[in-house]
Amino acid sequence: MRFSSLSLTASLALLSGSLLGQGTPTDAPPRLNTWSISVHGGPTQFFGDLREYDFYPVGVTNRDSFNERESFFGGLTVNKQLSHLFGLQLGGSYGTLRGMKRRIYFSYFQAEYANTELTGTVNVKSLLMGPNKMKRWKIDAYTGIGVTFFRSTAYELGTNRVQRFTKVNTGDGTVRPARFERDWSVPMGVAFHYELSPRFDIGLDFRINHVNTERLDATIGGDNSSVFDPTGSRGSFDGTSVKRGESAQDKYGYGALMLTYKLGTGAARVRKNNGKYNYDTKAGTYHLRWTDPALLVKPPTVLSLAQIDSVAKANRPKEIDPRLMMDTDNDGVSDFFDKQPNTPAGSVVSGSGESIDFEKYITAALPEMACAEIFANIQFDTDQATIKPQYRTILNRVVELMNRTQCRLQLSGHADRRASDRYNMALSRRRVDAVRQYLVRAGLDDPSRILIDYFGAFKPIGDDSRVGQARNRRVELKLIP
């Protein structure tokens, strides 16, 4: 049999088994939602000069006290999660502040403020405990930079007489509060979140805002007619340019209830099964706030030797019939398909291996007839590319048949193993070229119908014996439609 035909059959069988054993391509990393919006609000507390106690706010109003507790705020934050551990927040809030001090000042103040800031967050819980501990909880520490706009007025305790303003306008001879002041601020805080559902989180937010001014409680400048409010280091009556006195800069804080809505398509929340959190990307899209992307990467499966052997056995192709690799009579057709396995050497055979009378076949050929597959071999001497005289007759008859019909001719050159691969490839090509040139010189009308291949010693049909090597030194001819 022609070895190219044998090799193609065997390769197809091996390829089929190989495909059965291949896995599907690895899926691309799953997409995670990263945006969310939070609303928050709660009580505020001022820390500065007009504060009676360091920690406990006064809760009553009378002749020498003022309630420090009835101040609140509300705000909105847009959150972008950059990774599971780090995020950014752009927020804004509006609220009120109040405080009092009997000593030195005998004053209380009330203020309104608006604040906007950009902060960076760190997921402290996952950083310290890992992403699977306290799975429904998230603890963020954050800080950043912002701008605080404020307007404050201070009053005398008991009489409620106005004493100071954050800024005074005296252009028309009157004393009144002017527009909002503004200054830089540094927010610092910690927030506790609990994941209620795939869309909503609830939490508590505790913050201190350090403001770059001492004017937040209107302790700079004011009405000096009060014995409790003399002039001095706090500035003059119209001390609008005075920013700092002798005390520390002001700050304020809050404790807030927070509700967060997680944006994105197909929101999902991981579920716990059999005491373990199992992620299923087909169930929806998880949020980066709560999901470490590393948890979505399936670990590689490490097979035991027994499992590997089992997989190999399951995907092993069926044994190839040895008759596919044998061509006893060297006619170009394997014994598996050969209906006449003992044709004489040099016979011209059909695709089923049966010897045909090539002379009668050519005589009966009509111009419009389609060629059936016909096989023949041309053998060569060692290290030669010269056509032997006994093969010239069959080549002449091939030319006659091709000129009378539209048959095509496949030529495949081969060599034995007794040289280097590079040399054998060149030798097999010279043998193919020799056959082609002979056909052209013999009068072939259309040389373009000749198809050429050459394989060196890579497709033997015989062993390394003397007879086997002679069989390998060949050019295979195959007439095809």
By residue count, the chain amounts to: 481
The amino acid at 254: Y
Do 277 and 367 lie in one domain? The reply is no
User: Scanning the structure block, which residue is given the tokens 């398909």?
Assistant: 337
Please give the mean pLDDT across all residues of the chain.
Answer: 82
When pLDDT is cut at 50, 70 and 90, the band that residue 176 belongs to is low
Residue 474 located in a structural domain: yes
Question: Helix or strand or coil: residue 9?
Answer: helix
pLDDT at 392 over 70: yes
Both tokens of 15, joined, read 């390829």
- Does residue 11 lie within any of the structural domains? no
- For 270-325, the pLDDT digits (tens) are 988 887 888 888 889 999 999 999 888 877 778 888 888 888 888 877 776 666 66
CA 452-457-462 angle, to 5 degrees, is: 105
Q: Which of 253, 278, 296 is the last residue before a domain boundary? A: 296
Residues 355 and 267 in one domain: no
Please count the structural domains in the chain: 2
Residue 401: φ, ψ to 5°? -65, -45
User: 274 and 331 share a domain?
Assistant: no
Residues 253 and 242: their CA atoms lie apart, in Å, by: 24
Do residues 328 and 251 share a domain?
no
- In-domain check, residue 9: no
Q: What is the pLDDT of residue 322?
A: 63
Pair of tokens at residue 244: 């700092």
**Which among 113, 109, 177 is positioned nearest to 147, based on CA atoms?**
113
CATH code: domain of residue 354? 3.30.1330.60
Q: Say if residue 200 is in the same domain as residue 62.
A: yes
Q: Computed from CA positions of residues 455, 461, 466, 470, in that sequence, does the dihedral angle turn out positive or negative?
A: negative
- E runs forming strands in 124-180: 137-156, 162-165
**97 within domain boundaries:** yes
Q: Is 1 inside any structural domain?
A: no
Same domain, yes or no: 373 and 465:
yes
Q: Mean pLDDT over residues 226-250, rounded?
A: 52
Question: Is there a single domain that holds both residue 255 and residue 346?
Answer: no
CA-CA distance, 45 to 56, in Å (whole number)? 10
* CA–CA dist 110, 95 (Å, integer): 11
User: pTM for this one?
Assistant: 0.57
Report the CATH number that the domain containing residue 144 is assigned in CATH: 2.40.160.20
- Residue 313 domain-assigned (yes or no): no
Q: Please check whether residue 34 is in contact with residue 81, taking contact to mean a CB–CB distance below 8 angstroms.
A: yes
More confident residue, 20 or 310: 310
More confident residue, 405 or 168: 405
Based on the fold, state whether residues 393 and 458 are members of the same structural domain: yes
Instruction: Lay out the sheet containing 349-350: strands in order across.
Output: 349-350, 374-379, 474-480, 408-413, 450-454
Does residue 124 sit in the same domain as residue 245?
Answer: yes
Domain shared by 213 and 174, yes or no: yes
How many CA atoms does the CB half-sphere of 168 hold within 13 Å? 23
- Residue 35 scores a pLDDT above 60: yes
Q: Which residue among 296, 330, 364 closes a domain? A: 296
Residues forming a β-bridge with 267: 285
Q: Which pair of tokens denotes residue 58?
A: 């006064």
pLDDT of residue 370: 60
Produce one character per residue of 176-185: b if its CB has 16 or more CB atoms within 10 Å, e if not: eeeeebbbeb
Chain CA centroid to CA 452, Å: 47
Q: Is 452 in contact with 411 (CB distance < 8 Å)?
A: yes
Task: Report yes or no on 307 lying in a domain.
Answer: no
**At a CB cut-off of 8 Å and minimum separation 6, what does 38 contact?**
76, 77, 79, 91, 258, 259, 260, 261
pLDDT, residue 406, reads: 84
The owner of tokens 């001390």 is 239
Q: Do residue 239 and residue 138 come from a single domain? A: yes
Q: Which two tokens stand for residue 335?
A: 């014994």
In a domain, 440, yes or no: yes
Domain boundary among 259, 280, 296: 296
pLDDT-derived band at 237, boundaries 50, 70, 90 = very low
Instruction: Supply the range of the domain harboring residue 469.
Output: 322-480
Q: Are residues 370 and 467 located together in one domain of the fold?
A: yes
